[in-house]
Amino acid sequence: MDRHSSHDFSAKWARGVLGEVVVSAKEVHDRVGELGAQITQDYATRPPLLVGVLKGAINFMADLMRTIELPVEVDFMAVSSYGAATKTSGVVRIVKDLDVDLLDRDVLIVEDVVDSGLTLNYLRQYLGARSPASLEVCALLLKEGEQRVEQSLKYVGFSIPADFVVGYGLDVNERYRNLDAIYTYVGEA
């Protein structure tokens, strides 16, 4: 089955709003395993604090932490820069802050998608002000050609075209997060 022309069986209920498969469920699974193995190796002597960015990174964070063979700790932040739109507003609002202290911790931000980079840039400054020992990023998706801010990303799952995508945690108005693959979103029929 050509991943770019067909939907997998789990997406039948969303027909009419989904375009092409951008990243298949198998590709996601395999790449998350590779990222977890690399993180395990890189942080072998100091297990990181994983900071998941809600809500989009929840599927990625859950799968990623299970592939890291270290006693990692987790916490979550919720930020908003989209509202109900499909393009970032550029204005970042902290909706939920961290519960743990970052002082002298190795922190790994787990992000679903980096497009303009404005939200991630804000998060790096915000968390960096709390004096972590290190602050790196693991992003599932990097949208090609969309960055307005130069980014240094230690771990990237996939580089994808600039299309708006849903699935595997990514949503439109809180829908489609439960798809196991990542699709372009074409809108309501």
What is the tens place of the pLDDT at every residue in 11-70? 788 888 999 999 999 999 999 999 999 999 999 999 999 999 999 999 999 999 999 999
Residue of 124, 115, 97, 117 whose CA lies nearest to 164: 115
115 is catalytic: yes
Kindly state whether residue 169 falls inside one of the protein's structural domains: no
Kindly state whether residue 171 falls inside one of the protein's structural domains: no
Overall number of domains in the chain: 1
CATH of the domain at 45: 3.40.50.2020
State residue 148's pLDDT score. Answer: 65
Residue of 70, 21, 16, 65 whose CA lies nearest to 44: 70
Catalytic residue among 8, 112, 115, 163: 115
Kindly state whether residue 189 falls inside one of the protein's structural domains: no
Kindly state whether residue 140 falls inside one of the protein's structural domains: yes
Beta bridge partners of 159: 142
Q: How far apart (Å, rounded) are the C-alpha atoms in residues 142 and 159?
A: 5
Which structural domain range is residue 111 located in? 26-161
Kindly state whether residue 41 falls inside one of the protein's structural domains: yes
Kindly state whether residue 12 falls inside one of the protein's structural domains: no
Kindly state whether residue 2 falls inside one of the protein's structural domains: no
Kindly state whether residue 168 falls inside one of the protein's structural domains: no
pLDDT band for position 7 (cuts 50, 70, 90): very low
Buried-exposed string 32-45: b where 16+ CB fall within 10 A, e elsewhere: beebbeebeeebee
What is the tens place of the pLDDT at every residue in 88-104? 556 788 999 999 999 99
pLDDT reading at 172 higher than 70: yes
